[in-house]
Amino acid sequence: MKLKSLLLRYYPPGIMLEYEKSGKLKTKSIDLLDLSPSTDVNALVEEIQKAEPLITASRSDQVKLLVQRLQDKLTQHSSHQFYLFKILRAHILPLTNVALNKSGSCFITGSYDRDKIATGSFDKTCKLWSVETGKCYHTFRGHTAEIVCLSFNPQSTVVATGSMDTTAKLWDIQSGEEVFTLTGHSAEIISLSFNTSGSRIITGSFDHTVTVWDAETGRKVYILIGHCAEISSALFNWDCSLILTGSMDKTCMLWDATNGKCVITLTGHDDEILDSCFDYTGKLIATASADGTARVFSAATRKCITKLEGHEGEISKISFNPQGNRLLTGSSDKTARIWDAQTGQCLQVLEGHADEIFSCAFNYNGNIIITGSKDNTCRIWR
């Protein structure tokens, strides 16, 4: 094997190796999930060299430089104050979803008004669009009720759709053909996501269960049974060892992804869990509730680290910034808030929307925020 190049991956922190084997170019990833501003870079690189034969002594200085850049990145934007950069009034009905591309140069908004690049719609179809031209490549037809969630696999070769018809479908992006239909839920599917390797997909349903599927065969691997109300969110952590589920039963549950067993039930909220997430390293868990509060838990100890209090309405969306030290929440009180993920202190309130905020997100670098609201506008904060 011959190492060709080393590439940085900022979030979660890691180094991508491109190497040649038997005349073919291959890649592998070195995860640096424990990297922190206080990490001894020299000692860490020595450990990497011992564990990875592709990293020879001649590459040691280059690896040190990359790790140092990653370390510097972790401390960026820690005290950044966001300001309103622009208001976009392109929609005539409420915005339901917003998302940025990796570079932060463009973003997409979803609204009740029309399909605006894969989009799922109440017209029972999913469409694949060109970012550059706006051209529709494929229209995926087959669901018999509204599509309410979708996700690309990490390789961007397959898109999965979840529907009110109780099924999920996997579609080939190149051919536009259906690959599998995932059947077994007895009520609407409202959440789905792939693991980071793309080998598994999970679906969360109003039937109170989450199902784990083999994305290569469409086979059901196991069903996560334990919640006593509708599922609101379901996702894997970065290393695919854990699954986090949120429910209208006021709890989140943490599951062992290898055997489908419940590890712990996270409690404390007084009302429905509307959203939940891991940070990029999988060390922290955040939950958002209709009780107007959010909580941060340690994935290792399963203990509540801090409680985020200050919103005057339900919190429908929560996400970590890429560095993992800040949380963003969107609420029915018409504001978004930025919080310190360790202390729970509210650092900034983003005000200006005239109605509740349905969706909000950081860009890949964590220095831009977009918020989408029931007031039919999207706001960009920098």
Report strand pairing: 242-247 vs 252-256: antiparallel
Q: Dump the DSSP string for 37-82.
A: TT--HHHHHHHHHHH-TTS-GGGHHHHHHHHHHHHHHHTTTTTPPP
pLDDT of residue 37: 87
Q: Looking at the chain, how many residues does it have?
A: 382
Tell me the per-residue pLDDT of 227-285, one tens digit each, with 9 for 90 and over.
Answer: 999 999 999 999 999 999 999 999 999 999 999 999 999 999 999 999 999 999 999 99
12: preceding bond cis by omega (within 30 degrees):
yes
Give dist(CA 214, CA 74) in Å, integer: 34
Render 97-161 in DSSP notation, one character per residue. Answer: EEEE-TTSS-EEEEESS----EEE-TTSEEEEE-TTT--EEEEEE--SS-EEEEEE-TTSSEEEE
Q: What is the pLDDT of residue 99?
A: 80
Q: Which of 343, 348, 288 is nearest to 319 (CA)?
A: 288
Residue 81 and residue 210: Cα distance in Å, rounded? Answer: 38
Query: What residues contact residue 257 under an 8 Å CB cut-off, 6+ apart?
Result: 195, 200, 212, 236, 240, 241, 242, 243
Q: What is the pLDDT of residues 251-260, one digit of tens each?
A: 999 999 999 9
Contact 35, 281 (CB under 8 A): no
Q: What is the CA radius of gyration of the chain?
A: 21
Q: In which residue ranges of the chain is pLDDT below 70?
A: 77-78, 102-104, 113-120
> What pLDDT score does 102 carry?
66
**Which helix H or strand E contains 341, and what residues bound it?**
none
Q: Determine the Cα–Cα distance for residues 163 and 145; give it in Å rounded to an integer.
A: 6
Q: Tell me how far apart the alpha carbons of residues 176 and 141 are, in angstroms, rounded to a whole number.
A: 9
Angle, helix 41-51 to helix 60-74, in steps of 10 degrees: 130
Q: d(Cα 317, Cα 296) in Å, to the nearest integer? A: 14
Q: In what order do the strands lie in the sheet with 357-362?
A: 84-88, 378-381, 369-373, 357-362
Quote the pLDDT of residue 116: 42
Domains of the chain: 81-100+268-381 (2.130.10.10), 105-243+256-265 (2.130.10.10)
Q: Is 289 exposed, middle or buried (0-12, 13-18, 19+ CB in 10 A)?
A: buried
- Which of 153, 160, 150, 162 has its CA nearest to residue 108? 150
CA distances from 169 to 51, 122, 204, 206, 338 (A): 40, 15, 14, 17, 36
CB 288 within 8 A of CB 275: yes
The predicted structure's pLDDT at residue 113: 64
